Amino acid sequence: MRLLRALRARRIAAAAAYGGGGITAVGGLTIGLVLVEARLAKKMIRATPSTPPPVADGVFGPDTGAPLSFVMLGDSTAAGLGVHEPDETPGALLAAGLSAIAGRPVKLTNVALSGARSSMLPEQVDRALAASPDVAVIMIGANDVTARIAAAESVGHLAAAVERLRAAGCEVVVGTCPDLGSVKPLWQPLRWIAQNASRRLAAAQTIVVVERGGRSVSLGDLLGREFAADPREMFSADRYHPSARGYAAAAMAVLPSMAAALDLEPDFDVLPDPRRRTGVLPVYLAAAEAADEPGTEVAGTRVAGTDQGPRGRWATLLRRRGVPEAAPTTPGAV
């Protein structure tokens, strides 16, 4: 299954590079049962109105020293929809954490928009570049899956965004598409379809991000056990977006990668994985493994002095201390 996902992700990434249409997020499974379940899920999710995400833009940390410029791009998850206080948003959590690691102020500019798809990234990048960013975090993809946007089209927009930010000297960390199979209002077979579509897109996102000099962090069902045991605490009132605790978990997974990208020395250790004999793989294989292992960072690396191997770009997988253990990956487990 993982090898098949890796090959599909590589095909999607190649299609994005050459302008191909790729495959849609949920393929051709538009049978009546799935459509009925999708409508019911949307009705349940929207039953509880959500207020706009709180605005957290500003300077975090000490008053002295030149601030690092940090921009947040993406969809409602990046914007922090589902919480009520600015300091509960992922942008604020990451800015405060980065400031503590760097020992200097961090200026946050959040250009993420609720409902955004990957096709909206060009406009967000325009606004982000106006802030002369040192580091950017992108969280995008869930709305592409629910709208059944072709995966190649989605990752093509993401690849272009990473290229533009990197060309401006900005480090880029991408939190890949979350596992929509963990959303409580979904039933089988829609849950299984959503899970597979999410992981397929996440793997393809990782490939294009790493190939363009960025880093990816798989979010997946990052708190699978916790969400299953206590969904009222981990999800917000709409049962779709994370709560403050859910956003804190995502920030804890992304923060070490931000610090590493900026050559800082955070107090995070790499977790050994006895199941993996090596942390270096061709990027398409690393991407598929990361999609199944929430909290895994994938970044480009060199082997024997070169960044390219016989099967493409070399990449390394890392899991940081403090990242919650993932739930079992059986479809419908949460």
Active site residues: 76, 238, 241
What does the alpha-carbon distance between residue 54 and residue 118 come to, in Å, rounded to a whole number?
Answer: 22
DSSP codes of every residue in 241-268: SB-HHHHHHHHHHHHHHHHHHTT---S-
Q: Strands 106-110, 68-74: parallel, antiparallel or unpaired by DSSP?
A: parallel
Assign 220 to helix, strand or coil. Answer: strand
DSSP state of 144: H
Structure tokens given for 332: 């419908």
Assign 113 to helix, strand or coil. Answer: coil
Return the bridge partners of 139, or none. 74, 175
Query: CB-based contacts of 124: which residues, under 8 Å, 6+ apart?
Result: 73, 74, 111, 112, 113, 116, 161
Residue 106 host element (H or E) = strand 106-110
What does the alpha-carbon distance between residue 170 and residue 174 come to, in Å, rounded to a whole number?
Answer: 13
What does the alpha-carbon distance between residue 13 and residue 227 come to, in Å, rounded to a whole number?
Answer: 31
